[in-house]
Structures are given as structure tokens and as C-alpha cells.
């Protein structure tokens, strides 16, 4: 919720909404993609606000948001619908730094207006925002026309492509006949009588395998943690007496002591980040095993199913990929198209959503471990109470005593963090079990077992020549043409929706 504390004098501009974008520094996976979508879907205008930084220098991170704007709406130039405000609120900077920052912003970030104001002064804000809002009102019609003209061209191009493809398909696809309908029904029956039960059995066996391990510490996780412990036996970044003396000569002894405390902390946490690779491999292995339930002859028999294109890669260490997408996402995309009633469509959508969630299931270092172990390393914050037991009695005299204090604090933090992470060793096992049980239930029991079975039997019937090649000959067009048709129709629908929005 946003309160705008200034009047907007243009009466016929309609309603005005303000969106405060998420930060670029978020650790959440996909934060940048979410920000691009937020800009492209919700905003007519982007206003960037930045305080004058120390030194007045524009850093790479200061231009990151501006660089995302063209990704949000490629048809428009960022300079045509964005504004940059330099906030000269009273801070510790000189007039020269303000002038330097203004000049560099003007050179590197080209927007409709570059405005300098004091955000703590209501009158300054009122005056400048009135100018911005007036310019938005004058500019919006031109932007809308530009965007519409650009996107309506895409629709026309797609319509031409549809017409051309339809002409080819009219020759490739045979006329519908009763035999085709009979084959479809026969494939549904074959799936329900045999394959459905096998798929359920294979998924059930996989769930049982991980259920048996869910209360056990994950050995691969512990082995990886043990390697981190070995690598941290020597404190990383610990300075030599000469290095410490050199830095102390430029910033005095106590600030140098604090500097090395923070530097060592960052290097230790970097070592712990390697646990991410270990956890990722566990989930990739689970997805690979689950995929085998669907593709094996003793399971779903979907090994030869063709999605958008031929399978490009089959990776035994992780899920295979189809035309650049994982097997699970490709399967979900096609399942989403099924269903001939509202309930069936709802079942298909729920199954597809669960397959996509399983595809992205993970435990990450930043979300799972980092928040828990950070307090262990407060001992390396030399200004905090946690460091008091390790703090030297004096910052005068020999420097080796200070280095020993840093080493002792680092070892204490590392040992405590190792023991804490070791206590999480069951959590990967529990998360793996939860992920495979959830996808099993989604595949077999969404809404009810009969609804789920009907969705999967329809999927198998659509691909009967691939699932049951020994029974069915290809009486339909090649699967590639069918998938291209669906892809073109989907793109057309998307472009039409965008053009009309």
C-alpha cells in the first residue's frame, strides 16, 4: 500500500497506481525474473531513485535496474518511459561528488528526465513529481500506440504462419474416420488394463525406498560437510604479521583488526556454499529415478514419447532435457492441454502444476543453511558482544597476538557451524521423501483416482504409436507436425492477448 503525498493536477488521467519493486539484492531464486515480469506486466512508467553514493561514482549495480527495463518490454526504448531521480538528501558527500554522480548518471542512464531533488523536502518532491506526472500523462498515449503497433505486427505474422502451416497440415493429416476413434479408445483401454497399474507400482516402490531413509542422516550430505570441515582446518584469509602491519599502517590497528574479521567470515561462508552442489545432485538423482518410473517398460512406457522436438539429451546423472526444457516441464506442458470437461481440465492443471513443482524442488544453501549458521560467525564481528571472549586486551604492541585472536574466533565459529549443520543431516532425506510422495499422489490421486487415470490414459492414447508401437501403426500425422500446430496456436493466442491488453 502506497500513500502519494502530492496532488496530481491532471484530472482526466484516470486512476494512478504505484508499485514499489522488489530489490535486486534478494537471494530468492528467480528474483530478477520476477522483477522483469513486475515491470513489464504492472508498470506504465519506471522511476528510479538513488542517493548520492560515497565518492559520487556510478557503480555497475547502480545501472542494473535500468538494464532490466528493455527485457520487460522489448518493443519500447527504456529512455522513453523511465525517469531517474538523484536524491540529494543531506548526507556525507561534497558538492563535487554530487556533480560527478549527476554527470555519470546522465552519461550511462538515458531517461526522459534526470531530476535532482531532496526527498526529505516535501516542497522539492511536490514540485518535481508534478513535472514527472504531467510528462507521464502527455507521453502515455504515444507509448500505447507504439506498443500496440509493434505487437499487432507480431499477430499478423503469426496469422500468416498459421495459414501457411494449416495448408500443409491439410495434406499431412488424413481425414478422420471411425477407425481412428476406435484406435484411440483401444489405446485408453490398454493403458488402463496394464500400464496404469505398473506406473502406480513403480512410483509406490520409489516412495517406499525414500520413506525407509527419511529418518536417516544423509551420508552424501555428511561426506560433503566433512570435506568442508577439512578445508577449513586452516582459517582462510588469516593475514600474516607483515600483511596485518601493512594494512594497519593505512587504517590504524583496530580498524584493520575489524576488516580482517569480516574478510575471514566471508571466506568461511564461501566454503559452506559448496554444500549447494551436493544437495542439488540429490534432487537431480531423485528426478532421474522418478523419470524412469514413467519411461521404463515396467512402468509408464513413455520412453519414446516425442514432445516438442526430439529428445536432445538423456543424462543418466539427472533429468533428461527436451528442446532445452527438462523432461518434467515438457511433460507438464502437454498434460496441461488435456481435459474435455471442467473437472478434467482442473485435474490436468493440478497434475501439471505438481510436475513443475517437482521439477524445481530443492534445498538451497542460502535459504536452508545460511540463515541458521550466520549467528555462529558473529564472533568474527569484532565490534559485537559475541567477540568479547576473543578480543585482545590491547591493540598496541605485537600484532601476532591480534592474529591469534582472529584465528581462535574463526575456529570457534567454524566448529559451531559444522556441528549445527551436522544436526540437519536428516533434512535432505525428509525433503526428498516429501518431494517424491507429493508427485506420486499428484500423478495418481489428483481430485480422485479415476480422474487422474483418465488424464493419463488420454495422454497415452494421444501418443499410442509411441507408447504401444507393437499394436498401432502411424495413421495420424507425424508427432512433430501435431506439436508444431499446438505451439503455433499457443503463440497466436498469447500474441492476441498481449495485443488486446
Q: Are 272 and 369 in contact (CB under 8 A)?
A: yes
Q: Are residues 260 and 376 in the same domain?
A: yes
Q: Three-class SS of residue 311? A: strand
pTM, 2 dp:
0.52
Among 295, 320, 334, CA closest to 483: 334
Q: Are residues 259 and 373 in the same domain?
A: yes
Burial class of 310 by CB neighbour count within 10 A (0 to 12, 13 to 18, 19+):
exposed
Residues 39 and 69: their CA atoms lie apart, in Å, by: 7
**Dihedrals φ, ψ of 341, to 5°?**
-135, 170
Among 211, 204, 270, CA closest to 235: 270
Residues 247 and 258: their CA atoms lie apart, in Å, by: 11
- Beta strands 311-313 and 321-322, pairing class: antiparallel
Q: Are 356 and 442 in contact (CB under 8 A)?
A: no
Q: Are residues 115 and 212 in the same domain?
A: no
For the chain (501 residues), the mean pLDDT of every run of 10, in chain order, is 57 62 54 77 83 82 78 84 87 84 86 88 85 85 82 68 59 48 84 90 93 88 88 91 88 89 92 81 90 92 75 46 74 89 91 92 82 90 89 72 91 93 88 92 89 91 85 55 66 62 58
Q: Are residues 370 and 279 in the same domain?
A: yes
Please count the structural domains in the chain. 2
What are the beta bridge partners of residue 159?
none
Q: Are residues 127 and 257 in the same domain?
A: no
- Crossing angle of the two packed helices 427-445 and 342-360, in degrees rounded to 10: 160
pLDDT in tens, 321-356: 554 588 999 999 999 888 888 898 999 999 999 999
Q: Three-class SS of residue 451? A: helix
Alpha carbon 174 to chain centroid distance?
Answer: 43
**93 within domain boundaries:** yes
Q: Are residues 247 and 103 in the same domain?
A: no
**485 within domain boundaries:** no
**191 within domain boundaries:** yes
**393 within domain boundaries:** yes
Q: Are residues 127 and 221 in the same domain?
A: no
Residues 451 and 456: their CA atoms lie apart, in Å, by: 9
**47 within domain boundaries:** yes
b or e along 208-247 (b: 16 or more beta carbons within 10 Å of the residue's beta carbon)? Answer: eebeebbeeebeebeebbeebbeebeebebbbeeeebeeb
Q: Three-class SS of residue 340? A: coil
Q: Are residues 117 and 196 in the same domain?
A: no
**21 within domain boundaries:** no
Q: What is the pLDDT of residue 312?
A: 37
Identify the domain boundary among 423, 448, 473. Answer: 448
Q: Are residues 134 and 199 in the same domain?
A: no
Residues 293 and 44: their CA atoms lie apart, in Å, by: 48
- Crossing angle of the two packed helices 253-272 and 219-231, in degrees rounded to 10: 150
Please, which residues have CB within 8 angstroms of residue 250's CB and are 6 or more apart in sequence?
none
Q: What is the pLDDT of residue 170?
A: 47
Q: Are residues 403 and 295 in the same domain?
A: yes
Identify the domain boundary among 88, 121, 142. Answer: 142
**60 within domain boundaries:** yes
Residues 497 and 254: their CA atoms lie apart, in Å, by: 62
Q: Are residues 194 and 54 in the same domain?
A: no
Q: Are 195 and 300 in contact (CB under 8 A)?
A: yes
Q: How far is CA 434 from CA 133, 166, 206, 259, 357, in A?
A: 51, 45, 12, 43, 12
Find the domain containing 41 and state its range.
31-142
Residues 142 and 135: their CA atoms lie apart, in Å, by: 12
Residues 44 and 77: their CA atoms lie apart, in Å, by: 13
3-state SS track over 51-100: ECCHHHCCCHHHHHHHHHHHHHCCCCCHHHCEEEEEECCCCCCCHHHHHH
Q: What is the pLDDT of residue 259?
A: 93
Q: Are 105 and 114 in contact (CB under 8 A)?
A: yes
**499 within domain boundaries:** no
Identify the domain boundary among 120, 142, 164. Answer: 142
Q: Are residues 110 and 189 in the same domain?
A: no
Residues 430 and 210: their CA atoms lie apart, in Å, by: 8
Q: Are 48 and 66 in contact (CB under 8 A)?
A: yes
Amino acid at each position: 500500500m502506497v500513500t502519494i503525498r502530492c496532488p496530481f493536477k491532471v484530472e482526466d488521467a484516470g486512476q494512478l497506481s504505484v508499485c514499489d519493486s522488489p530489490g535486486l539484492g534478494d537471494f530468492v531464486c528467480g528474483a530478477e525474473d520476477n522483477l522483469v515480469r513486475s515491470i513489464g506486466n504492472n508498470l506504465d512508467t519506471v522511476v528510479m531513485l538513488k542517493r548520492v553514493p560515497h565518492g559520487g561514482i556510478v557503480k555497475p549495480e547502480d545501472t542494473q535496474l535500468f538494464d532490466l527495463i528493455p527485457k520487460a518490454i522489448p518493443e519500447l526504448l527504456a529512455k522513453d518511459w523511465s525517469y531517474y531521480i538523484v536524491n540529494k538528501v543531506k548526507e556525507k558527500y561534497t558538492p563535487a561528488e554530487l556533480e560527478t554522480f549527476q554527470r555519470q548518471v546522465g552519461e550511462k542512464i538515458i531517461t526522459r528526465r534526470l531530476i535532482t531533488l531532496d526527498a526529505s523536502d516535501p516542497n522539492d518532491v511536490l514540485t518535481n513529481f508534478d513535472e514527472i506526472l504531467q510528462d507521464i500523462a502527455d507521453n502515455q498515449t504515444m507509448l500505447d500506440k507504439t506498443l500496440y503497433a509493434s505487437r499487432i505486427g507480431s499477430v499478423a505474422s503469426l496469422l500468416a504462419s498459421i495459414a501457411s502451416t494449416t495448408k500443409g497440415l491439410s495434406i499431412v493429416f488424413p481425414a478422420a474416420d471411425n477407425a481412428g476413434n476406435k484406435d484411440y479408445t483401444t489405446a485408453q483401454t490398454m493403458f488402463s488394463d496394464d500400464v496404469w497399474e505398473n506406473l502406480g507400482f513403480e512410483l509406490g516402490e520409489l516412495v517406499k525406498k525414500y520413506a525407509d531413509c527419511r529418518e536417516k542422516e544423509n551420508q552424501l550430505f555428511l561426506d560433503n560437510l566433512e570435506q568442508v570441515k577439512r578445508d577449513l582446518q586452516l582459517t582462510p584469509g588469516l593475514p600474516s604479521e607483515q600483511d596485518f602491519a601493512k594494512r594497519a599502517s593505512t587504517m590504524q590497528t583496530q580498524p584493520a583488526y575489524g576488516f580482517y574479521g569480516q574478510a575471514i567470515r566471508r571466506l568461511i561462508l564461501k566454503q559452506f556454499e559448496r554444500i549447494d552442489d551436493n544437495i542439488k545432485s540429490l534432487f537431480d538423482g531423485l528426478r532421474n529415478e522418478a523419470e524412469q518410473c514413467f519411461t521404463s517398460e515396467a512402468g509408464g512406457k513413455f520412453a519414446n514419447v516425442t514432445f516438442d522436438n526430439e529428445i536432445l539429451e538423456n543424462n543418466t546423472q539427472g533429468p533428461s532435457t527436451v528442446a532445452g526444457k527438462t523432461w518434467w516441464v515438457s511433460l507438464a506442458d502437454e498434460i496441461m492441454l488435456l481435459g474435455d470437461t471442467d473437472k478434467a481440465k482442473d485435474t490436468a492443471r493440478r497434475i501439471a502444476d505438481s510436475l513443475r513443482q517437482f521439477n524445481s524442488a530443492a534445498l538451497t544453501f542460502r535459504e536452508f543453511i545460511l540463515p541458521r549458521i550466520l549467528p555462529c560467525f558473529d564472533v568474527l564481528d569484532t565490534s559485537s558482544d559475541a567477540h568479547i571472549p576473543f578480543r585482545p586486551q590491547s591493540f598496541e604492541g605485537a600484532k601476532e597476538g591480534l592474529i591469534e585472536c582472529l584465528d581462535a574466533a574463526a575456529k570457534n565459529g567454524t566448529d559451531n557451524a559444522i556441528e549445527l549443520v551436522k544436526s540437519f543431516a536428516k533434512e535432505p532425506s525428509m525433503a526428498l521423501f516429501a518431494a517424491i510422495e507429493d508427485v506420486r499422489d499428484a500423478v495418481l490421486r489428483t481430485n480422485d483416482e479415476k480422474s487422474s487415470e483418465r488424464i493419463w490414459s488420454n495422454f497415452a492414447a494421444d501418443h499410442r504409436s509411441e507408447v504401444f508401437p507393437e499394436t498401432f501403426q502411424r495413421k495420424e500425422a507425424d508427432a512433430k507436425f501435431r506439436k508444431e500446430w499446438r505451439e503455433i496456436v499457443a503463440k497466436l493466442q498469447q500474441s492476441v492477448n498481449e495485443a488486446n491488453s
